[in-house]
Amino acid sequence: MKDFKIVTGMKEFASFQQFANEEHLGIDDLILTNAYIYEPAIARLDLSCQTLFQEEFGAGEPTDVMVDGILQSLRGRKYRRIIAVGGGTVIDIAKVLAVAQRDDTVDAMYGRMAALQKEHPLILVPTTCGTGSEATNIAILNRTRKGIKVGLVSPAMFAEKAALIPELLASLPYPVFATSSIDAMIHAVESYLSPNACALSEVFSERALQLILRGWKITVNCGGPEGWKGQALEFLRASNFAGIAFGHAGCGAVHALSYPLGGVHHIPHGQANQLMFADVMRKYQEKKPVGKLNRLQELLSAALCSTPERALDELYGLMDKVMKKTPLRMHGVTEEELPVFARNVLNTQQRLLENNYVELLEDDILDIYRRAF
């Protein structure tokens, strides 16, 4: 078993002002963020920091083209720390920037992944409650020139610090909350079932699940899209705990099968995970009905006031109330793509598939896609 470590220092703040004061943000700091976050939450503080807005280089999840454009724009700048304030895209890009040399490219960094070194101290401030990326040392990039979505991973990509500031979630649209919290829940489940889990990582998986499921029940029972905001800090904590758990134990088939959906059809990451989650779990039940999955069912049954036998179905039903699952065909996926996706996952996502609860063969993966279609 590998050592369980929490490398990044975590701290909660009531406001961005409090965080900025404690960290003495100034001219030597580069804030990577989005304009829609910066203007209401940071601009009024009149900080002397340098700024860079991610959306000026492309929309959606990180790509090699987007990151190479950012690297090019930074070559004439001098700064010490990188402060990333944003969702998964901003945070993942910041991790790449932290290990990038002055004349680097994305392809060059993938080529020397084992030798990457920290070039800039890194502080991560999440503004969604899903990726948990502030606690991990991986950035997922769509390598458009190679047609694959794959992780850049290095111990040097851990942030020195992460700040949890619920104030920054105040303007988060409900659909982003839904997809990001679903992503966090799946992180917790996959890390819990992973063969790499240990007693300590399980504590973080379990607590993340408890917080998310309790928060979801409050959200769906309040009858409006704003109900989750009273639980913003708890959702931030849950995302962070799930990030710590999967940073140790890894994610598995749900993430592996979702990557072609995001890479080819640009389905948001959390939603792509939701489209695969139930059918992956049902395949697990078919192939290995007796095992650690039963412990997960007991954990879910306690949180959902259900029997262990009904717990997973209750979870799928609650997820549907948070965000309705739809067939893959409604997202532009064609039946002819499914065998291509299955083969691609088997060939390119072994890093994730090694963390599965049970081994999935190509026929199993294709069957999951067909059920979700």
Q: Residue 53 and residue 61: Cα distance in Å, rounded?
A: 14
- Write down the residue that tokens 């807005």 correspond to: 53
Q: Residue 188 and residue 192: Cα distance in Å, rounded?
A: 6
Burial class (CB in 10 A: 0-12, 13-18, 19+), 18: middle
For the stretch 208-244, what's the b/e string if a residue is b when 16 or more beta carbons lie within 10 angstroms of its beta carbon? Answer: bbbbbbebbbebeeeeeeebbbebbbbbbbbbbbbbb
Tens digits of per-residue pLDDT, 240-268? 999 999 999 999 999 999 999 998 998 99
Q: Which residues are CB-contacts of 71 (< 8 A; sequence separation ≥ 6)?
A: 97, 100, 104, 105, 106
DSSP 3-state assignment of 198? coil
Euclidean distance between the first and the last CA atom of the chain, given in angstroms as a whole number: 37
Regions of the chain with pLDDT less than 70 = 1
Q: Give the pLDDT score at 1.
A: 65
- Please give the domain boundaries of the chain with CATH numbers for all domains: 9-168 (3.40.50.1970), 173-372 (1.20.1090.10)
Q: Residue 119 and residue 19: Cα distance in Å, rounded?
A: 23
Q: Give the pLDDT score at 150.
A: 84
Q: Give the pLDDT score at 2.
A: 76
Tens digits of per-residue pLDDT, 308-362? 999 999 999 999 999 999 999 999 999 999 999 999 999 999 999 999 999 999 9
What distances in angstroms separate CA 142 from CA 118, 120, 260, 350, one per listed residue? 22, 23, 10, 17
Burial class (CB in 10 A: 0-12, 13-18, 19+), 330: exposed
Q: Which residues pair with 124 in a beta bridge?
A: 84, 162
Phi, psi angles (nearest 5°) of residue 55: -65, -15
- Return the closest-CA partner of residue 67 out of 119, 120, 9, 108: 108
Q: Give the pLDDT score at 226.
A: 86
Q: Give the pLDDT score at 148.
A: 83
Q: Give the pLDDT score at 244.
A: 97
Q: Residue 31 and residue 99: Cα distance in Å, rounded?
A: 16
How far, rounded to the nearest angstrom, does the alpha carbon of residue 176 sit from its chain's CA centroid?
12
What is the C-alpha R_g of the chain?
Answer: 20
Q: Residue 61 and residue 141: Cα distance in Å, rounded?
A: 8
Q: Residue 266 and residue 261: Cα distance in Å, rounded?
A: 6
